[in-house]
Amino acid sequence: MRRLSVSQAAQHAAKKSIVERALGIEIPPVIAAVAPFGYRDRARLTVAGGAVGFKAWRSHDVVDVGECPLFSPALARALPAVRALGARLPDGSALALQAGGEGVHLDVTPAGAAAAARALGEQCWDALRAGGVVGVTVDGKPALGAAAVDVSEPGGAPLQVPAGAFAQSGRTANAALVAAVMDAVGKTPGAVIELCAGSGNFTRHLVPVASSVRASDTDAGAVARGRRAAPAATWSRRPPEIPPEPAADLVLLDPPREGADDETLAAAQKALRRVVYVSCDPQTLARDARRLTGSGFLLMKAVALDLMPQTYHIEVVAIFDRP
């Protein structure tokens, strides 16, 4: 496959400019978190009209994908067997892949009967295993092999996540993001509240340095995984609300692309000392930054990480302190 791309230097310059325009401050050079290609550990394929691939930009059309230069070696190895399975599924079915330490996990969302999809998975199981697939779920329910894979960064505490649930784009990318977040948190953060905590990706690292950690997420499945990944933290769904007392020295939040909702921001504004905001969208970060600074915080610093080269995506870790 011929690879056509803008140079990494040009991509970083553009992404740096986007973040600086959004936040109104100068930031350090963008951190190159991963190699330009072969970094992606997760993907979602759609079945339509004999094609098994990605939806075209701003379209429902499905582009048949025989290979992808962004796929990690594990995903690339599994793709032929996954495509062969997908070609036998009804149109509208979806295939989510997640690579981890053990191999690749696959979740099938069939357009037809789940029982038929499970039977088809059993027929294709030998080929899937030969491609490095270690487990299959159907509509999130265990069907074959492992129910999840370890998506933790190299050397990190285990973090079991199934295909279809949220994880960072790749394990190497996650290592860079965790390092940036923990640098912003500091070595002695005190009492920490973590909002939009997901499956405990950052929580695993907060527990050893914080005096206490209260973590929450609206996704019940993520909270269950978080309790297993970081059992020393106090976990809850939001709502129920995290109580205001004891007050938090630091609030860490990692909201979805649309940014923090009113309840999340209200909780973050209760931080006594610092808010660390992890964002995958500079525009919604800028909107929420205005609300944080309007409530008395100062935007002290922001760092940008390129976790997904060849795309417009950029991750930002911003620090807000009380004067």
Question: Which residues have a catalytic role annotated?
Answer: 280
**Is the omega angle on the peptide bond into residue 246 within 30 degrees of 0, that is, cis?**
yes
Task: Report the candidate in 105, 108, 166 with the shortest Cα–Cα distance to residue 132.
Answer: 105
> What residue has token string 């630091």?
250
Span between the terminal Cα atoms of the chain, in Å = 53
Distance, CA of 241 to CA of 262 (rounded, Å): 13
Distance, CA of 157 to CA of 202 (rounded, Å): 10
Cβ–Cβ < 8 Å for 280, 313 = yes
263 Cβ neighbours under 8 A, 6+ residues apart: 238, 239, 241
